[in-house]
Amino acid sequence: MNYQDVGQDVLDAIVTELGSLVAEDESLKREILQLQHEVGELKARTTTTESEFAQMRSDTDRIRTTLADMRAAAAQRRADEAQRRADEAQRRADDVQTQADHIQEMADVARAQAESDQADHLQAEANLVQNKADQAQVLADEAQNMAEYVQDVAQQREDTGE
């Protein structure tokens, strides 16, 4: 197994996951624009008659409630997805760390058996994989921080009724 490929795969997967968060945000923006358009159409109806005005109030309240529910649900979905991605990144970082630990153990055994050439090679490989594990951990931590931020924003929006 090529440990460099494993580390690169981990990094590529994390970058892909972060990119999909941006795509989800664009989708939510389009939904909000569509709802704003519908609200605009409802505002235009208020100029017709007094009886339609009462219906307009009812429709507006319903749309506001629906919009608030949609925003809260979308924010929660983003937060949940960000947390899932952070958990996946952490799992991958843990896997790479386990591999690095195993290689380090092999290097220690080889060094103890006085096979210094092989031990040095294994030590270099262990160091390389450890570096990849450290990088993956940094990315996992960043993904976790992003998930927590998205959760905080979702909670704030829910608390303020946005």
Identify the CA nearest to 18 among candidates 80, 82, 78, 76.
82
Query: Distance (Å, rounded) from C-alpha 120 to C-alpha 65?
Result: 65
Q: What is the percentage of the chain residues whose pLDDT exceeds 90? A: 1
142 near 99, Cβ under 8 Å? no
Identify the CA nearest to 15 among candidates 122, 135, 162.
135
Which two three-digit tokens encode residue 40?
A: 């605009």
User: 20 to each of 16, 39, 94, how far by Cα in Å?
Assistant: 6, 29, 23
Mean pLDDT estimate for the chain = 80
Task: Report the predicted TM-score, pTM, of the whole model to 2 decimal places.
Answer: 0.44
133 near 97, Cβ under 8 Å? yes
The pLDDT of residue 1 is 55
Q: Where does the pLDDT of residue 50 fall: very low under 50, low under 70, confident under 90, or very high at 90 and above?
A: low
Identify the CA nearest to 28 among candidates 77, 80, 66.
77
Residue 81 confidence (pLDDT) above 60: yes
Residue 101 confidence (pLDDT) above 70: yes
The pLDDT of residue 108 is 81
Q: Where does the pLDDT of residue 2 fall: very low under 50, low under 70, confident under 90, or very high at 90 and above?
A: low
Side-chain-side CA neighbours of residue 99 (13 Å): 23
Residue 65 confidence (pLDDT) above 60: yes
Query: Distance (Å, rounded) from C-alpha 146 to C-alpha 79?
Result: 9
Which two three-digit tokens encode residue 153?
A: 């924003």
**pLDDT tens digits, 110-123:** 777 755 667 778 88
